[in-house]
Amino acid sequence: MKYVYCPACGKKLTSKYSYDEGNVPSCNHCKTLYFDTPKPTVVVAVVKEDEILLLKQSYIYKNSKVLVSGYVSQGETVEETALREVLEETGIAIKDIKYLGSCSIPEKDLLMLTYMANYSSGSLVKSQEVEGVEWVKIKDALSQMEEDVVGRAVVKRVLCELSKG
Ligand SMILES: [Zn+2]
């Protein structure tokens, strides 16, 4: 996010030279630099045998299902975010969390960290934030995720990982 005003005191920021970072917006009053950094989010592909966990959230994509995702909270590791979001949104516990790679979406101010994980325990309990949650055969998942470009890439990566055995 490109800061113009200080989020703490509201004063207009000025450009300050910060060594190897170059010029960075700075609040002279609060003595704080405001880097143009993305918000870290996690995307988790949860796998249970030949099925994958998909959500329906119409506010994200009207005609597509999506993987579990969420913002990283302050003080939380990304792995903790993955565990928390899957539990909150679907009621299940995961294990064997494996990092697949990252994806930057500057126009949405996001840095998406993508993971796959195995189902551990619990049964599906839909949260109020979610319209639907279900296990879908992995081979059918891509055809139900037309609009979710990042999610589709993650599922392709998962298929690749699973084919390695
Ligand atoms: Zn300030």
* Domain locations in the chain as residue ranges: 1-37, 39-164
User: Pick from 153, 122, 151: which is nearest to 54 by CA?
Assistant: 151
pLDDT of the chain, 165 residues: tens digit per residue: 889 999 999 999 999 998 888 899 999 999 999 999 999 999 999 999 999 999 998 888 888 999 999 999 999 999 999 999 999 999 999 999 999 999 998 888 999 999 999 999 999 988 787 889 999 999 999 999 999 989 999 999 999 988 886
Annotation: CATH topology of 39-164? Nucleoside Triphosphate Pyrophosphohydrolase (3.90.79)
Distance 15 CA to ligand 1 centre (A): 13
Distance 32 CA to ligand 1 centre (A): 7
pTM of the model: 0.87
Distance 76 CA to ligand 1 centre (A): 26
- CA–CA distance from 153 to each of 28, 43, 67, 163 (Å)? 43, 11, 11, 15
Distance 29 CA to ligand 1 centre (A): 5
